[in-house]
Structure 1
C-alpha cells in the first residue's frame, strides 16, 4: 500500500507582526543582553548612532521611530550579551572537548575578553598579553613566505580597518585578500560587471517610489533583510506588482504586517505582497527568465506588425546595448517545452510574468544568493539583465538591478581594497602615498586558499571576523587539514568552530562590536560602512565595552602590522592612524578621490553620501562600451543535471540565524522549530520514493554520470529527518552550514568560484 501524502509544513501568519516582536523578545532573554542594549536598538541606523551589523540594506534619510528589523535586533542583542567567555572557561575545557560543541553552544558562552594563545601541550587556549601576541604573530609572519599567508575578512569590519588590512597585506607582500563575498555574493561582482560594467546594483531608495513591477529572485527578505519589506509594502499599496521566482514559498514575499503600524497590528489585515509566485526548480531561473523574455519579444512582434507602440525600448537598445540579435536568435531556437523542463514552470506561468513586464513602465530586478550560488550563476544574472534591458529598465528612475547583500559592509570592504584581484586594487595609489609596491599576480580566492590548506601550500591564516571553517564546503576534508597550517589568527567577538581547529601556532584576539565605544587617543571613534545602494554612513558605538582588555579591529590590525613590518617604511604610521580614525578616512579619500572626496565631512549627513555608479548614469564600463545582452550556454544553472534518483539540494538560513551565527532553533516563518538536522522534501516526491515524514535518512553527494564522476570521495551527512514541504519536483532544502559537507570544493560558480550551494546534486539513503 502506498504511503499517504503527508501534509506540508507551513506558517499560518504573516511576516512581521506580533511574531517578529516575540522573536526579538525570545532572543533578548536567551542572549541575556545588557540593560542598555535597548538604547542601541533605539539608535540603530540613525544619524549619530550605530549602523546595524546585520544586513547591508540602506539607512534612510528620514528614519522610522525604530529603524531596525527582527534580524538586526537579534544581531545587536546577541552582541551585547552579559555572558563572558573568560580565560577561566578555557582552563576548564580542552579544545578537543569544545570541538564537539555546536556553534550555538559556543557563542552562548559570551564575549571573549582576553587575548589567547593555543598551547598544544595542554590542548587549551591560555591568556597572554597583547604585546606578547603582537610580537609573536609579527615574528611568525616575517618567517613565512607572504604568498603562503591569507588575510580573510568577514563582511562586518568597517571601512577604516578594512582599508588598513588591505594596505597591510600589500606592504607585507601578497594579494591574498578574499572576504565573505567569495562565499556568497561574489558572482554579482563578476557577473554584473561583465554585462553592465559595475560590480554593484544600480538602484537607489527613491526608485522604489516609482517602480511598477518588481521581479524578485532567490532571496528571502523575511529572514535575511526584513527592512526591505517596508518599501515593498509601500510599492504594492501604490499598485506595484511583485513577481517572485523562488523554489520555496517564503512568507516574506507573500504577506506582511508592519510592526510599526498600530492599526495593522491590531485590527488591520496583512498586506499581500506577491502578484505571482513562480516556484522554479533549483537552478531554474535562467529558463524561467528566458520564457519571460520570449513572451516579451513575441508581444513586441505583434505590436510591430499591428503598427502599435513597441514594447521594446528600441531607442535605448540601439544607443546603449550590444548583442540583442544573438539573444533573439537563441530565444527563437529554444522551445517552450525545453524551458518548462529546465525551469519547472509552465508556459502559462512564464507568459503571465511576461505580461506583467509588458504592462509595466518601470521594472526593478531584485535578487539574492538563490540566483547566484550556482555553477552558472553569472549566466542567471546575465539573463535577468537581458530582461531589464529589453524595456530600457536600467539607468533611469524607478528601474534597475538591485542585488541584496548580506553582511553589513561586505560591499564596502571590496570598495576600499580588500580584493584578491590586482586590477581592482588601487596599486598606483599605494605606490604614490606609501611607496608600497603591490605584487603583480592575483591572490587567493577563498577556494584557492582552501585548496592550499588541502595541499599544504597555505601556511598562514588571519581571520578578520567570521567563522570561515564552518562556512566552507567539503567540511571533513578541510577541517582535517586546517590544523596543519603554521599560523592561525582569529580576530573575534565570540568563540566559534574555526577557533577550535588551531594551527601549529594559534591565537584568538578579542575585538569590540560596532555598538561599543571605541576609545582611542582622540576620543570615541567614528567608523563608516557602505550599504548595498553604495551609500556611506558614519557609525559610532555608545555602549561600554564587554571588557577592559578588548581592542577594536583597527587597533588589532595596526598592532599586527606594526609588529610585522617594523619602522622600515616611515610612511606607514600605524600608531598615528590608530589614534585618530579620521586620518584613515583622509587616506581613503586620497586613494579613491572621485568616490570618497570630503569623506569626513559627508559621512554623517542623514542618508549618508552616495559614491556614485556609472551604470546608473548609463555609462557602461564594459569591453564594448555598452550594456551586454548575453545568450546562455545552459538552461539550468546547476552544474550537474538530472538523473534517476538524483535531487538538487538548496541550503538555507533559518529565521534564528545570520550566516553561521545561530541565535536559536526556531524557523518560525517556515513553520519549523527544534532540530536543524532536517531535509525538506516535496510530499509527492516522498511518496514516489517510498519515504515518510520523520524518516531518518542520509544525504550523499551524487556525481555519477557527470563530468566529475572520477571524484570518488564519499560526501555524506547522516542523522537527517525528512520534513514535508511545498517544493518543486526534485528539489530538496536543508540548513547551512550543517549540510556544507555535501558541497565539493570544486563545485562552484564558473567565474567567481562562489560555492554552488543552492543546487547540490544528492541522492537519499535510508537511515
Structure 2
C-alpha cells in the first residue's frame, strides 16, 4: 500500500457528517460551488433541474434540499469551471492520456470545442462545427447502415432521445443499444412476461402506504441515496424492511438525515433494515423460493386451524395463471438445496416469510443484484411470484419496484431507444414522417461489441457515456476498437472511450443539462422519466461553461441534416432545435396515449405518470393474466465451475464515490477503503483457505475454459463481511473479467454480479 491508502472499518451511518464532509470536499476540488449553488437549491424540484445522477423519484412536496451526496457530486462534476481545451490536447497525445486514470481524465474539466482525431499527431485538434457535421455526414453516408451503431447513455433527455432514435431509423437501422442493455434490460424482459409491463408498478405515494418492504440487490446508500428519506420514514413508523444482499451495505443498515439539524446533533441514527440476510452471490432465486415455500406452509397451517388464508386465493383465482405448477415446484424444492444455494438457514427464510405473511401491503425493491446474473430474468420473476402470492401487485402500498440507475435511462426506452423493432411504434413513425422504418432487429450492447470484434461494425456514434469502460470483455473490445472507420462521441467530459478513436474520430462537446440552453425561441426546457414512470420537466440555472458548446438536440440535428438520406426526408430538424416544445408535440403525436397534453403537463407538481395497466390489474400478457413462472435453476450463477473448490463468485460493486463509470475519487467511505480501488473483498475463511493474507496482492482470473485468458492484476486482498465462496471488487475495473457470452439468459445483460474467478498470489 502507498502512504495515502488505508483500510479501516466504517462505523457511521449513511448520510450524516460523512456525507457533508464528502460534499464539501468535492465542491472545493472542482471549484464548482459558485456555479452550483443556485442549481442545487432547485435540483429535483418542480420548475427546477432534474439531477443527472440517479433516476429516483422526484416528490411533489420536496425537501429543503432535494439532492443527495452523489447528486451533488454529479452537479459539481458538470458545473466545474475547469476546462479541457485545444491547449490541453496540444500538450498531450492520446497515447499519453491512455495512461491516466478514469478519475484524472474527467477531473480535468469540461470539453469546450469540437475535436477531430489527427492520426499523424496522435492528438485531437479543433475543428469547426460545420466541418465536423459535414465530414461525419459524408463518412456515415458511405457506410452500409447496418454497420453503424447509435449508442445512448442514460442521461439524454426525452427530446434528444426521440430525435436520436429517429435519426438512426431514417439512416436505416435499429442499432440502438443503450445503457439499459447493461443493467435493467432484464427487467424489460422479465416483467412483461409476468405482469405485462416493462417497468415497475410502484409510485412514490406507495411508500407512504406500505407496511413492509423487501429489498434485493440494491445498494441504496451509494446508488440512490434520496430513497433513504422514504426508507427512513417507513422505518420510523415501525414497518419492517427485509434486506437481502451479500455485503452489509451501510445505507441498508443505518441513516442519519443531513437535512435534519436535530438528527445531525444527535448521536444516534435510524435503523433501516429490520432483518438483513447476507445471501450468497446468485442465491436470490433459492432465497425467494424458500420464502415462498414457507408462506405456502403458513397458509396450509392456517387452513388446518380454520383461520384466515395467508395466500390471496381470490386474487390468484381471478388474476393469475400458473399457480398450480408453481405450488408443485415449491413442494418439490428441498430445504437443504435451498439453504445451500441461498447461503441462508431455513430459519432465516422462514423468519422473512412470517413478516411477509403478516403484512397487508408489500413493496419488492430490487436492483442490479438481481438483473446482472445468468439467471437474472428468473430472479426478477421469482420476486414477482412472491408478490403475487398475496396480491401485492395493483394494491396501494404494494408492487414491484426496480430501481433504475441513470437519470433518464427508463425514459429513453419510452421514446423509442431500443434495438427491438416490436417495441418501437414503427408504423406510426412511417405515417408521421413518410418513410419506411427498418424492421430488422438491431444490435444490443453485447451484439454491438461482438460486431466490433468481428469487424462487422464499422462506425460508432455515442450519445454520452463511456462505452468502452462500461462494456464487458474490455481488453478484446479495446484491441478491436481502433479498426472502426468512424467514431463520434457526444460528451461533456473526456473519458477512456474517447482515447481510442476510429480511423476518423470526433468528440463533440455538448451543454450539460444544468446549463441554460438558449435557442431561437428562448431558453429551453427538457424532460426526463424517473424510476417510478413519472415524467418531469427540467429547467437549467447555470450559464454555459463556454459559448462554443451546442446542445444535444442541436448536435443530433446537425448530424441528421448532414446525411443526405436523412436530410431529404423532411423532418423539421431546425424548427425542433429552435423550440423543444415542438419535439414534445412530436412525441405526443407518436404516443398520444402516453403523452396527452405533454407540454401543458410539463411542470405538473411531482410530474405525471405513464399509463401502467398492471397497477390497475390489467394484464397485457399472452394469458391476459399475471403469470407465475417456475425457475429452471435454484442458482442464478454460471453452472460451469459454480461449485468448484478453488473458484469464487465475484460480484462487481460501486463505491459511494462514483456513479457508473464516473469516478469522483478513490475513497469508499461506507466500506472503509481509502486511497485505492484495487481491492478484492474476501471472507476471512477464504483468505485462510487459499493460503493468502490480508493486504497481500493477487491477480483475479476468469474461471472458464473458452480459450481466452482474462485477468486483472495487483488487487489487494481485503478481509470483509461477505459470504464464504464469494468476493467483490470494483466496476469498471473488473469488466475485463466478464466474457461477452456471460450474460443474462433472455436479456443479454452482462452477468457482472456473478463472475467465476480464481485467485493467484502475485509472483506465484
TM-score of Structure 1 vs Structure 2, range by shorter chain: over 0.9
Q: How far apart are the structure 1 equivalents of 2:344 and 2:753?
A: 18
Q: How far apart are the structure 2 equivalents of 1:736 and 1:27?
A: 21
Q: How far apart are the structure 2 equivalents of 1:721 and 1:254?
A: 26
Aligned to 2:730: 735
Q: Deviations over 1:671-722 (max 9, x none)?
A: 111111110001121112111111110000001xxxxx3x121101111110
Aligned to 1:141: 140
Partner secondary structure for residue 717 of structure 1: strand
Aligned to 2:748: 753
Partner secondary structure for residue 450 of structure 1: helix
Do 2:560 and 2:566's aligned partners in 1 also have CA atoms closer than 8 Å?
Answer: no
Do 2:434 and 2:569's aligned partners in 1 also have CA atoms closer than 8 Å?
Answer: no
Aligned to 2:697: 696
Q: Deviations over 1:224-259 (max 9, x none)?
A: 000000011111111210110000000000011111
Distance 1:664 1:746, change over 3 A: same
Q: How far apart are the structure 2 equivalents of 1:284 and 1:207?
A: 28
Q: How far apart are the structure 2 equivalents of 1:323 and 1:673?
A: 50
Aligned to 2:349: 350
1:568 Cα deviation (Å)? 5.6
Do 1:172 and 1:565's aligned partners in 2 also have CA atoms closer than 8 Å?
Answer: no
1:36 Cα deviation (Å)? 2.5
User: What pairs up with 1:499-518 in 2 under 5 angstroms?
Assistant: 499-518=498-517
User: What pairs up with 1:393-404 in 2 under 5 angstroms?
Assistant: 393-404=392-403
Do 2:667 and 2:677's aligned partners in 1 also have CA atoms closer than 8 Å?
Answer: no
Aligned to 1:654: 655
Q: Deviations over 1:88-120 (max 9, x none)?
A: 110111111111111111111100000000011
Aligned to 1:113: 112
Q: How far apart are the structure 1 equivalents of 2:249 and 2:307?
A: 39
Aligned to 1:682: 683
Q: How far apart are the structure 1 equivalents of 2:518 and 2:403?
A: 33
User: What pairs up with 1:4-153 in 2 under 5 angstroms?
Assistant: 10-33=9-32, 35-153=34-152
1:567 Cα deviation (Å)? 7.4
Partner secondary structure for residue 501 of structure 2: coil
User: What pairs up with 1:244-255 in 2 under 5 angstroms?
Assistant: 244-255=243-254
Q: How far apart are the structure 2 equivalents of 1:603 and 1:381?
A: 32
Partner secondary structure for residue 529 of structure 1: strand
Aligned to 2:3: none
Partner secondary structure for residue 593 of structure 1: coil
Aligned to 1:450: 449
Do 2:458 and 2:485's aligned partners in 1 also have CA atoms closer than 8 Å?
Answer: yes
Aligned to 2:315: 316
Q: How far apart are the structure 1 equivalents of 2:512 and 2:503?
A: 28
Partner secondary structure for residue 595 of structure 1: coil
Aligned to 1:593: 592
Q: How far apart are the structure 1 equivalents of 2:564 and 2:357?
A: 60
Q: Deviations over 1:12-54 (max 9, x none)?
A: 0011111111111111112121512111100101122100000
Partner secondary structure for residue 396 of structure 1: coil
Aligned to 1:624: 623
Do 1:701 and 1:762's aligned partners in 2 also have CA atoms closer than 8 Å?
Answer: yes
Q: How far apart are the structure 2 equivalents of 1:65 and 1:34?
A: 18
Q: How far apart are the structure 2 equivalents of 1:429 and 1:51?
A: 29
Indicate yes or no: 2:276 matched with 1:277. Answer: yes
Give the alignment's TM-score, normalised by structure 2. Answer: 0.98
Aligned alpha-carbon RMSD (Å): 1.1
1:569 Cα deviation (Å)? 3.7
Do 1:163 and 1:417's aligned partners in 2 also have CA atoms closer than 8 Å?
Answer: yes
Indicate yes or no: 2:716 matched with 1:717. Answer: no
Q: How far apart are the structure 2 equivalents of 1:531 and 1:568?
A: 33
1:436 Cα deviation (Å)? 2.2
Q: How far apart are the structure 2 equivalents of 1:576 and 1:194?
A: 40
Q: How far apart are the structure 2 equivalents of 1:161 and 1:748?
A: 29
Distance 1:39 1:602, change over 3 A: same
Do 2:560 and 2:567's aligned partners in 1 also have CA atoms closer than 8 Å?
Answer: no
Q: Deviations over 1:467-491 (max 9, x none)?
A: 0001111111100000111000000
User: What pairs up with 1:197-596 in 2 under 5 angstroms?
Assistant: 197-267=196-266, 269-565=268-564, 569=568, 571-596=570-595
Do 2:7 and 2:672's aligned partners in 1 also have CA atoms closer than 8 Å?
Answer: no
1:565 Cα deviation (Å)? 3.3
Stretches (4+) displaced over 2 A: 7-10, 565-571
Do 1:118 and 1:502's aligned partners in 2 also have CA atoms closer than 8 Å?
Answer: yes
1:639 Cα deviation (Å)? 1.7
Do 2:149 and 2:443's aligned partners in 1 also have CA atoms closer than 8 Å?
Answer: yes
Q: How far apart are the structure 1 equivalents of 2:645 and 2:16?
A: 43
Segments of 5+ residues of structure 2 without an aligned counterpart are 1-5
Do 1:9 and 1:724's aligned partners in 2 also have CA atoms closer than 8 Å?
Answer: no
Partner secondary structure for residue 168 of structure 2: helix
Q: How far apart are the structure 2 equivalents of 1:507 and 1:36?
A: 28
Do 1:683 and 1:724's aligned partners in 2 also have CA atoms closer than 8 Å?
Answer: yes
Partner secondary structure for residue 124 of structure 2: strand
Aligned to 1:3: none
1:628 Cα deviation (Å)? 0.7
Partner secondary structure for residue 358 of structure 1: helix
Partner secondary structure for residue 593 of structure 2: helix
Partner secondary structure for residue 764 of structure 1: strand
Partner secondary structure for residue 107 of structure 1: helix
Partner secondary structure for residue 681 of structure 2: strand
Do 2:435 and 2:569's aligned partners in 1 also have CA atoms closer than 8 Å?
Answer: no
Q: How far apart are the structure 2 equivalents of 1:83 and 1:267?
A: 38
Q: Deviations over 1:158-214 (max 9, x none)?
A: 000100000111111000001111111110111111111111000011111111111
Segments of 5+ residues of structure 1 without an aligned counterpart are 1-6, 704-708
Do 1:9 and 1:723's aligned partners in 2 also have CA atoms closer than 8 Å?
Answer: no
Partner secondary structure for residue 713 of structure 2: strand
Q: How far apart are the structure 2 equivalents of 1:721 and 1:237?
A: 39
Q: How far apart are the structure 2 equivalents of 1:330 and 1:667?
A: 42
